[in-house]
Structure 1
Amino acid sequence: MSSTLADALSAHVQGPVLVPGAPGYDDEVAAFNLAARIRPDVVVGATGVADVVAAVRAAREHRVPLRVQSTGHGAERPVTSGVLVTTRRLDEVVVDPASRTATVGAGARWGAVVERTAEHGLVPVVGSSSNVGVVGFLLGGGLGPLARSHGFGSDRLLSATVVTGTGDVVEADDGEHADLLWALRGGDAVPGVVVAVRIALVEVPALYAGALVFDTPHVETVLRGWLDWTAHADDLTTTSAAVVRMPPIDAVPEPLRGRTVLSLRVARPGPVDAGERAAAPLRALAPAMIDGLGPLAARDSDRIHGDPTAPAPVWTGGALLAGAADGFADAWLDTVGPGTEHPFVAVELRHVAGAGGRASGADAVAGRDAAFTLGLVSVGPEARASGPGAAERVLAAVAPWLADEANPNMSGALPGRWRADVAARLDEVRRRYDPDDVLGSRAAVPSGVH
């Protein structure tokens, strides 16, 4: 089957068409998450819209599944058959400073967009890492260091060029194919291959940001103090608290090596003096090992979280919290605090209630009403084996505080979860644009909650 399908595709595709064992196949299918098993029957390295159309139509004709990969950051589920379309070559970024917009190819990473937009004093609303792909971030909603001040990244998605599951090319915006654009704004699995997006940009002329790092004896005090502080935080200040187990390796600064620390991340657009006032109560919680707060160019926001940039085998999981009062800190520290047994190198809480909950509703984003995100990260060869069971124990411990919905970008390998009305509408859109479910967008239909 693979050779027949590859021959059919090669006749219509300009980019590489590769089967297992062929030179270049392993590099073409490689994901950022090295724990992911990505071994399709055929991989198509798309060089343009026509290549994507040919791949979708061939998959539909041969009745095999088609999947899409850009950077491979979201590679949590295995791909062991069918066609994989890689979009990394579709990486053009065109900025229109007059309209404060950028048109971005599906293979671009946020770093490339930031580099181009910064020339014009503009930035996109990105996540904690600009190394991730633009499209995957937007499809899940997209939360980052500016979550409270600027909301979800998908709030800035203006239009998209999509090859649907029937092999048709459509331009989805608020006028044409508005139902598809609605699904693209946070609906995660979509009934087509996104080949380009147009996004709105924002001005962030000043940013006060960075991280405070606290040693093990202060983790509990700072975690509790931060949670209390979030109850009165202003809507411009976005913070997160991560308990991190620093590995005993040379790449880690000597004071942190082998330590369990709490990294308290802060980002606030606006004047430096206002940022210092907002962060003062956090600085006062305990003596910091490292005080990295200060003025920061918006284009350098990666420094706030310091997410890894090198591929590694990982397992990530997460959930949303409706709140974190009435005993939550006890449950969290008893389960993942210093001295507890679990496989995670980092466990994080992000305070996100704010602008993200105030959008127009013209989207399928899950979790706008959540107060916090909860993230779990396990790294290493055993991550995929140990992560799921440990995550179940963590979620069980904090079950009273979990939100009804689950945002797919923040859930990692765990499923997203939408309100029942949103889930039903997503299913309708998926059936309309991909009636044969070529892209498998209905393979894991989001469960509805009331």
Structure 2
Amino acid sequence: MSAGLRTRVRGAVLAPGDEGFDTGLAGFQTAYRHRPSLLVRAAVPQDVTEAVRHAAAHALPIAVQATGHGLTVPAEGGLLIDTSALSGVVVDAPARTARIAAGTRVAEVIHAAARYGLAPLNGSSTDVGVVGYVLGGGLGLLARAFGYAADHVRSLDVVTPDGRSRRVTADSDPELFWGLRGGGGNLGVVTGMEIGLVPVSSLYGGDIAFDTERVPHLPEVYRQWTIGLPDALTSSVSLAAYPDLPLVPAGLRGRRVAHVRVAHHGDPRRGAELVAPLRAAGPALSDTVAVMPYTECGSIHSDPPRPHAYAGDNVVLRGFDAKVADVVLEAARAEAPGRRVIDIRHLGGALRRAPDPPNAVGHRDADCLVRILSPLAGADPGRAHAAHRALLDALAPWRVGRFPNFVYGGHPGGAADEPVDDLWEPADHRRLTRLKARVDPANLLRHNLNVPPAPAERG
């Protein structure tokens, strides 16, 4: 079945047992791995087109992987398209845009844009693939100042499940342009996109770590601190219990720690004024908040650089009151060292404003997002999922939905067993199902946070 495809693809076409097949499946997420019947390692964008046409002709479900950070629904059978070799960035400084290929990582865009005093709206990790991050919405370090990354997409090069390659813009196909920006990988395989950049070359940011035994109500301190903050400051607080092991930095070993991460766009003196009340909350274990070139923004969260096993979920909340802070603190206190990380991310600001033209990113009136993440090395995924569910259920009174970028699987039966309609506004989810019926009626693109095609309407 794959012989003809091999003659049309410049990259590798591999089946189970072929040399390079197993290594080609590896990604950053090691808890799960795609197990396709066929792997296409694209060397040029046309390889993606050929792979999609082959899948459509043989009714093969399609999965896509660049870096494997956001793997949630492992493919069993079907065709996997690896876009990791499709990398590259071209910056148009006068237009403040960057054209990026499908496998490009955030760090490449940061450094390319920095030469012109510009920056992308990236998230905490600089190692993730830009395309997957943006398609899911993209909640970045400067999100309150500039909005979601998906709000700044200018065009997308997409292969739809009918095997057609097209450049999608607000003018060429307004409905598909709306759905691609925030609808995840449900509507096509993206081979490249043009994104807007922002005029940022440095920021005032970093991490302040507190021992929660000495500052026991830090989540409530953080909540009160966020009240009235200007849009120029984006922040989060992360709670973790560290084991007393040599691999943990000495100052954190055996402690329960709250990390407050801040990123301020604007005058650093104003940034220092805004952070001062937080610093006065109590003695800090460490404080790295300072002026930094934007190229060092990955140090704010210091996300782990090595592949590992993890599961995660989140809930988006309307309202951020003292009870929310208490629920999060109690959940963090109940966890054994090394078992969970729980974040509260302050929303609002520019995130509330829909772009022109609008996109599928929802829940813009939310006030905060709570994320729970569990390392799975030597752990039971079922227990991790139960802990996630307990926290999210406790936050149900404030819940308006979830955010796609922070759903990492972890359900005992796989993320495919989880409902995903709450990742979007109800009306937007219905709109996505209708759009899916138009571009992918067979639901070939289903190894993802899947939006099924709407049933055919009967006349």
Query: Which has the larger displacement, 243-252 or 229-238?
Result: 243-252
Correspondence for 1:194 among 175, 190, 195: 190
Taking the aligned partners of 2:233 and 2:5, their CA distance within structure 1 comes to 50
1:401 aligns to what?
398
Secondary structure of 1:319's match? strand
Secondary structure of 1:262's match? strand
Report whether the alignment pairs 1:423 with 2:429.
yes
Closer/same/farther in 2, CA of residues 323 and 343 from structure 1, 3 Å limit: farther
Correspondence for 1:445 among 424, 442, 451: 451
Deviations 1:276-322 (A, max 9, x none): 00101100111101011111112211111111110001111111111
Correspondence for 1:294 among 278, 290, 293: 290
Taking the aligned partners of 2:56 and 2:453, their CA distance within structure 1 comes to 26
Taking the aligned partners of 2:31 and 2:132, their CA distance within structure 1 comes to 19
Taking the aligned partners of 1:239 and 1:443, their CA distance within structure 2 comes to 27
After TM superposition, the structure 1 = structure 2 runs for residues 322-333 of structure 1, keeping only pairs within 5 Å, are: 322-333=318-329
Correspondence for 2:248 among 225, 248, 252: 252
CA contact (8 A) 2:184 2:449 kept: no
Correspondence for 1:108 among 104, 118, 135: 104
Taking the aligned partners of 1:412 and 1:320, their CA distance within structure 2 comes to 15
CA contact (8 A) 1:160 1:172 kept: yes
Taking the aligned partners of 2:42 and 2:28, their CA distance within structure 1 comes to 18
Taking the aligned partners of 1:115 and 1:360, their CA distance within structure 2 comes to 26
Taking the aligned partners of 1:34 and 1:205, their CA distance within structure 2 comes to 34
Q: How many residues align?
A: 442
Taking the aligned partners of 1:250 and 1:436, their CA distance within structure 2 comes to 52
Deviations 1:320-366 (A, max 9, x none): 11122152222222222x35459743111110111111123610002
CA contact (8 A) 2:441 2:453 kept: no
Residue 180 of structure 1 aligns with an amino acid whose one-letter code is: L
Identity value in percent: 36
Residue 327 of structure 1 aligns with an amino acid whose one-letter code is: K
Query: Which has the larger displacement, 338-347 or 219-228?
Result: 338-347
TM value normalised by structure 1: 0.94
Report whether the alignment pairs 1:359 with 2:359.
no
After TM superposition, the structure 1 = structure 2 runs for residues 152-167 of structure 1, keeping only pairs within 5 Å, are: 152-167=148-163
Residue 354 of structure 2 aligns with an amino acid whose one-letter code is: A
TM value normalised by structure 2: 0.92
CA contact (8 A) 1:344 1:376 kept: no
CA contact (8 A) 1:343 1:387 kept: no
1:387 aligns to what?
384
Taking the aligned partners of 1:227 and 1:78, their CA distance within structure 2 comes to 37
CA contact (8 A) 2:240 2:337 kept: no
Secondary structure of 2:264's match? strand
RMSD: 2.0
Correspondence for 1:10 among 6, 9, 18: 6
After TM superposition, the structure 1 = structure 2 runs for residues 96-245 of structure 1, keeping only pairs within 5 Å, are: 96-245=92-241
Taking the aligned partners of 2:35 and 2:447, their CA distance within structure 1 comes to 19
1:348 aligns to what?
343
CA contact (8 A) 2:315 2:403 kept: yes
Query: Which has the larger displacement, 174-183 or 435-444?
Result: 435-444
Correspondence for 1:27 among 23, 26, 40: 23
Taking the aligned partners of 2:177 and 2:237, their CA distance within structure 1 comes to 33
Closer/same/farther in 2, CA of residues 23 and 300 from structure 1, 3 Å limit: same
Give the drift of 1:50. 1.7
Give the drift of 1:422. 0.7
CA contact (8 A) 1:430 1:442 kept: no
CA contact (8 A) 2:235 2:262 kept: yes
Taking the aligned partners of 2:240 and 2:302, their CA distance within structure 1 comes to 12
Residue 81 of structure 2 aligns with an amino acid whose one-letter code is: V
CA contact (8 A) 2:434 2:453 kept: no
Query: Which has the larger displacement, 103-112 or 293-302?
Result: 293-302
Closer/same/farther in 2, CA of residues 37 and 246 from structure 1, 3 Å limit: same
Taking the aligned partners of 1:420 and 1:442, their CA distance within structure 2 comes to 19
Give the drift of 1:210. 0.3
Residue 117 of structure 1 aligns with an amino acid whose one-letter code is: A
Taking the aligned partners of 1:274 and 1:342, their CA distance within structure 2 comes to 37
Residue 356 of structure 1 aligns with an amino acid whose one-letter code is: L
Secondary structure of 1:223's match? helix
Taking the aligned partners of 1:420 and 1:151, their CA distance within structure 2 comes to 21
Query: Which has the larger displacement, 385-394 or 415-424?
Result: 415-424
Instruction: Give unpaired runs (5+ residues) of structure 2.
Output: 410-417, 455-459
CA contact (8 A) 2:343 2:371 kept: yes
Secondary structure of 1:207's match? strand
Instruction: Give unpaired runs (5+ residues) of structure 1.
Output: none
Taking the aligned partners of 1:412 and 1:281, their CA distance within structure 2 comes to 34
Secondary structure of 1:188's match? coil
Query: Which has the larger displacement, 229-238 or 38-47?
Result: 229-238
